[in-house]
């Protein structure tokens, strides 16, 4: 039969029928695939009791030992997929990132408008993309050179503070990374711990308080959000409306302070300055939109960047007190390359392979965000014969990847030498940065800034000071061990003490002579 003699209606119907059949067949085949293995669970609540409460990463890793690289848990019918191997995380979150770059939706997040200043929690879509693009540009390896002046200045303050009151090193580190974040974000320099900008940003912690899982029933029963505020039991709506107002006041207040500072002639290289300069080229509507995004982006630098880097610096102090041999090797390299008469700066970075390896080991030895920020999937997917339902929460176990003995032999030992070959960085060893900063389109945009801050902190502190375990009343070193405290997202060193002493009077004098 010649094609021109075929009835077009018949042809259309046939194509439609074949397509419908193919779709139904594919859908059946997809839903026929089993879910990844996991503990059996109970009716309705599912795996509520199997979900690790204390240490999420280690608890999930125990399940991986029993069930393999993908584990499925269901809680009230919602799927969570835990990923226990680096390869599976890379296959799903990097290679299929168009499907795995969403975040779980928080009803509380919508009610408090948390996303206007916290885009890491935002769903995958145009709003997230626009913010991400701006921040990504400001944090590219070639863009962050402009922040070195801030990092140097703040690190020199840290050295001065350590010299003056070494016992308060925790407080000094907190000030250091808060200051870097506020300078990079707003161009404002915080003046100590009771600084008004620091106080304002701390006010944002009310958001963390309302997001505590289980605090509000509306998170599990979203229909409650439609109750009018006066309805009995709907008092939470007024509470959340207050939080929304307060957060808007804080984020706008500090953004306006940064703008005033700039308008008063304080030219600076902050992200705020870049956004304001760019907005000045746009029409009024587009400029207003740009600034609305800007105030969230700037706040995010502090919320996502200050505590995480501070935690890395605490890990460094802890590791140095526990591993004197590593400290000695690092100091030998610093003495050889920099010499006794000056402090390190960024131009030394490429000449200090051991210090660079040490920073990598700081990031790997203790992972600050052990299960990353949760990703979420957009569509049904099949991986290695298993079905990953649309809307699953997906947790890559960064802690397990960083502790894999096949990749990092004797993983609990702090050993920068694992990254070195013939005195240079060995490209064949997996760089912990490919693990600890997450995956795919959601990968941490601040990773280069964080690594640079840790480099200058570690190099400067080790060039000037010795870090040793605390002494008892008889002046004898006390036993120390590495302990950590976990929240649902982060893991930080538990409070610890150590002795921090200048390596020599001449090194102390180098700090006293600093002029910035
Ligand atoms: C040692 C320090 C840091 C660590 C370990 C760290 C780790 C992470 C991780 C694991 C994620 C989640 C990635 C994913 O979802 O796959 C993340 C996201 C993020 N980080 Fe970092 N981070 C650090 C420092 C910073 C800094 C200094 C900044 C900003 C200046 C920053 C900004 C962000 C932002 C904005 C996101 C959300 C990205 C998105 O959702 O698109 N981080 N970080």
Query: Is 363 or 24 the better-scoring residue by pLDDT?
Result: 363
Burial class (CB in 10 A: 0-12, 13-18, 19+), 420: middle
The verdict on residue 110 lying in a domain is no
Q: What is the CATH number of the domain that holds 246?
A: 1.10.630.10
Indicate whether 1 belongs to any domain.
no
Residue nearest to atom 7 of ligand 1 (CA): 437
- Ligand 1 nearest-atom number relative to CA 438: 16
Q: Tokens 């997917």 sit at which residue?
A: 381
Average pLDDT of span 433-447: 98
Residues 76 and 199 placed together within one structural domain of the fold: no
pLDDT tier at 12, thresholds 50, 70, 90: low
- Domain of 83: which CATH number? 3.30.43.20
Compute, in angstroms, the gap from residue 55 CA to the centroid of ligand 1: 20
Of 210, 200, 202, 201, the closest CA to residue 112 belongs to 210
Question: Do 449 and 479 share a domain, yes or no?
Answer: yes
DSSP string, 1-18: --GGGS-HHHHHHHHHHH
If you search the block for the tokens 């947790």, which residue do you land on? 395
pLDDT tens per residue across span 156-177: 999 999 999 999 999 999 999 9
Minimum mean pLDDT range among 11-15, 56-60, 101-105, 252-256: 11-15
pLDDT, mean over the chain? 92
Q: Are residues 356 and 440 in the same domain?
A: yes
Mutate to test the pocket of ligand 1, among 147, 435, 446 (most ligand atoms within 8 A of CB): 446
393-396 vs 78-83, strand pairing mode: parallel
Give the Cα separation of 227 and 236 in Å (integer).
10
Bridge partners, residue 466, by sequence: 501
Q: What is the per-residue pLDDT for 14?
A: 55
Q: No. of H helices and E strands in the chain? A: 18, 12
Is residue 139 domain-resident? yes
Do residues 89 and 145 both lie within one domain? no
Residues 69 and 171 in one domain: no
Whole-number Å distance between alpha carbons of 246 and 258? 19
Same domain as 435, residue 389: no
Say yes or no: CB of residue 311 within 6 Å of ligand 1.
no
Give the pLDDT of residue 304. 95
Ligand 1 within 6 A of CB of 298: no
Residue nearest to atom 13 of ligand 1 (CA): 438
Which residue positions form the known binding site?
Answer: 444
Is the distance from the beta carbon of residue 180 to the nearest atom of ligand 1 less than 6 Å?
Answer: no
Candidate from 16-25, 74-83, 126-135, 339-348 with smallest mean pLDDT: 16-25
Task: Let me know whether 377 and 300 are in one domain.
Answer: no
Number of domains in the chain: 2
Q: Is residue 9 part of a domain?
A: no
Element (H, E) at 215: none
For residue 462, being part of any structural domain is answered with yes
Specify the pTM. Answer: 0.92
Give the end-to-end CA distance of the chain in Å, rounded to a whole number: 88
DSSP string, 66-130: HH-SEEEEEETTEEEEEE--HHHHIIIIIITTTTS-B----HHHHHHTGGGT-GGGSPSSHHHHH
SS3 string, 241-278, reads HHHHHHHHHHHHHHHHHHHHHHHCCCCCCCHHHHHHHH
Q: Looking at the structure, tell me whether residues 281 and 398 fall in a common domain.
A: no
359 with 321, same domain: the answer is yes
Is 190's C-beta closer than 6 angstroms to any atom of ligand 1? no
Which contacts (CB < 8 Å, 24+ apart) does range 328-333 have?
A: 329/354, 329/416, 330/354, 330/355, 330/358, 330/416, 330/458, 330/462, 331/462, 331/463, 331/503
Asked if residue 134 and residue 40 are part of one domain, the reply reads no
Domain region containing 270: 117-372+403-512
Ligand 1 contacts CB of residue 446 (under 6 A): yes
Burial of 43 (0-12, 13-18, 19+ CB in 10 A): exposed
Higher pLDDT, 15 or 437: 437
Give the number of other Cβ atoms within 10 Å of residue 208's Cβ.
12
Show the tokens assigned to 182. Answer: 């506020």
Domain boundary among 358, 383, 402: 402
pLDDT digits (tens, 9 = 90+) for 364-417: 999 999 999 999 999 999 999 999 999 999 999 999 999 999 999 999 999 999
Best mutation site among 308, 397, 434, 451 for ligand 1 pocket (most ligand atoms within 8 Å of CB)? 308
Last residue of a domain, one of 402, 420, 453: 402
16: in domain: no
**Per-residue pLDDT at 10 exceeds 70:** no
pLDDT of residue 424: 97
Is the C-beta atom of 299 inside 6 A of ligand 1?
Answer: no
- Cα of 473 vs centre of ligand 1, distance in Å, is 42
- Angle 271-279/169-186 helices, nearest 10 degrees? 10
Length of the chain: 516
- CA 13 to chain CA centroid, Å, is 53
Alpha-carbon distance of 322 to 327, in angstroms, equals 9
- Bridge partners (DSSP) of residue 395 are 82
- C-beta of residue 88 within 8 angstroms of C-beta of residue 428: no
Task: Please check the confidence at residue 336 and state whether its pLDDT lies above 50.
Answer: yes
> Distance between CA 192 and CA 196 in Å, rounded?
9
pLDDT in tens, 260-269: 999 998 889 9
Cα→Cα distances 458→45, 61, 344, 366, Å:
47, 31, 10, 16
User: Has the ipTM of the complex gone over 0.90?
Assistant: yes
For residues 41 and 24, the model is more confident at 41
**Does 309 sit in the ligand 1 pocket, CB within 6 Å?**
yes
Res 322: pLDDT: 98
**Which pLDDT tens digit goes with each residue over 116-144?**
889 999 999 999 999 999 999 999 999 99
Tell me how far the alpha carbon of residue 13 lies from the centroid of ligand 1, in angstroms: 51
74 lines ligand 1 (CB under 6 A): no
Main-chain dihedrals φ then ψ at residue 211, nearest 5 degrees: -85, 0
In a domain, 219, yes or no: yes
List pLDDT tens digits, range 449-507.
999 999 999 999 999 999 999 999 999 999 999 999 988 789 999 999 999 999 999 99
In a domain, 2, yes or no: no
One domain, residues 159 and 89: no
Is residue 436 lining ligand 1, measured as CB closer than 6 Å?
yes
Q: Which of 177, 174, 176 is nearest to 495 (CA)?
A: 174
- Would you say residue 20 has pLDDT above 70? no
pLDDT at residue 23 greater than cutoff 70? no
Look up residue 321 and give its two tokens.
């007190």
Residue nearest to atom 2 of ligand 1 (CA): 309
Atom number, ligand 1, closest to the C-alpha of residue 121: 40
Give the mean pLDDT of 30-54: 89
pLDDT bucket at 18, cuts 50 / 70 / 90: low
Average pLDDT over residues 171-199: 92
The DSSP annotation for 411-436 comes to: TTS--GGGGEETTEE-TTSPPTHHHH
User: Do 79 and 163 fall into the same domain?
Assistant: no
Give the span between the Cα atoms of 70 and 381, in whole angstroms.
Answer: 13
Give the tokens for residue 455.
């480099």
Q: Atom 40 (ligand 1): residue with closest C-alpha?
A: 120
- Please give the structure tokens belonging to residue 167: 């016992």
Instruction: Read off the pLDDT band of 30 (50, 70, 90).
Output: low
Please name the residue that has the structure tokens 């990504």: 136
Domain's final residue, options 382, 402, 422: 402
Annotated binding site for heme: 444
Q: Is the pLDDT of residue 101 over 90?
A: yes
Picking from 276, 419, 440, the residue whose alpha carbon sits closest to that of residue 352 is 419
Q: Does the Cβ of 101 fall within 6 Å of ligand 1?
A: no
Our mutation pick for probing the ligand 1 site, out of 304, 489, 491, counting the most ligand atoms within 8 A of Cβ, is 304
The 10s digit of each residue's pLDDT in 210-230 is: 877 667 888 878 888 999 888
Strand partners, 386: 383
Radius of gyration of the chain (CA): 26
């Amino acid at each position: 039969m010649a094609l021109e003699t075929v009835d077009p209606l018949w042809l259309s119907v046939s194509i439609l029928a074949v397509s419908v059949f193919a779709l139904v067949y594919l859908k059946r085949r997809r839903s026929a695939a089993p879910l990844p293995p996991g503990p059996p669970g109970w009716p309705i609540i599912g795996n509520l009791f199997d979900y690790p409460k204390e240490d999420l990463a280690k608890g999930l890793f125990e399940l991986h030992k029993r069930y393999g690289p993908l584990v499925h848990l269901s809680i009230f019918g919602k799927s969570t997929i835990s990923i226990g191997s680096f390869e599976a995380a890379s296959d799903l979150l990097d290679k299929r990132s168009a499907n795995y770059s969403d975040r779980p939706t928080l009803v509380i997040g919508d009610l408090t408008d948390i996303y206007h200043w916290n885009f890491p929690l935002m769903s995958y879509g145009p709003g997230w993309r626009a913010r991400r693009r701006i921040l990504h540009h400001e944090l590219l390896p070639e863009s962050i050179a402009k922040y070195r002046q801030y990092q140097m200045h703040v690190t020199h303050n840290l050295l001065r503070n350590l010299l003056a009151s070494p016992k308060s090193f925790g407080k000094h580190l907190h000030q250091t990374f808060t200051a870097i974040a506020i300078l990079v974000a707003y161009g404002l320099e915080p003046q100590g711990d009771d600084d008004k900008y620091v106080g304002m940003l701390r006010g944002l912690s009310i958001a963390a308080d309302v997001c505590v899982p289980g605090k509000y029933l509306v998170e599990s029963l979203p229909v409650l959000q439609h109750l009018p505020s006066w309805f009995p039991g709907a008092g939470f709506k007024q509470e959340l409306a207050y939080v929304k107002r307060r957060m808007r006041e804080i984020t706008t207040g500090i953004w306006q302070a940064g703008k005033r500072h700039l308008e008063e002639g304080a030219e600076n290289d902050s992200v705020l300055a870049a956004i304001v300069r760019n907005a000045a080229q746009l029409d009024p509507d587009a400029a207003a939109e740009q600034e609305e995004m800007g105030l969230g982006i700037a706040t995010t630098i502090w919320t996502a960047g200050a505590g995480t880097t501070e935690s890395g610096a605490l890990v460094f102090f802890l590791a140095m007190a526990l591993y004197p041999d590593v400290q000695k090797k690092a100091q030998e390299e610093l003495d050889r390359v920099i010499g006794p008469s000056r402090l390190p700066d960024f131009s030394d970075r490429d000449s200090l392979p051991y210090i660079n390896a040490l920073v990598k080991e700081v990031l790997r030895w203790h992972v600050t965000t052990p299960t990353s920020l949760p990703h979420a999937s957009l569509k049904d997917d099949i991986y290695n014969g298993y079905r990953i339902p649309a809307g699953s929460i997906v947790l890559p176990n960064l802690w397990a990847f960083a502790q894999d003995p096949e990749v990092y032999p004797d993983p609990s030992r702090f050993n920068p030498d694992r990254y070195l070959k013939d005195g240079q960085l060995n490209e064949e060893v997996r760089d912990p940065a490919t693990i600890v900063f997450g995956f795919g389109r959601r990968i941490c945009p601040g990773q280069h800034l964080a690594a640079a801050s840790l480099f200058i902190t570690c190099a400067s502190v080790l060039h000037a000071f010795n870090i040793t375990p605390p002494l008892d009343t008889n002046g004898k070193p006390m036993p120390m061990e590495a302990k950590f405290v976990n929240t649902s997202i982060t893991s930080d060193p538990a409070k610890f003490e150590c002795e921090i002493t200048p390596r020599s009077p001449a090194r102390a004098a180098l700090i006293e002579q600093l002029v910035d």
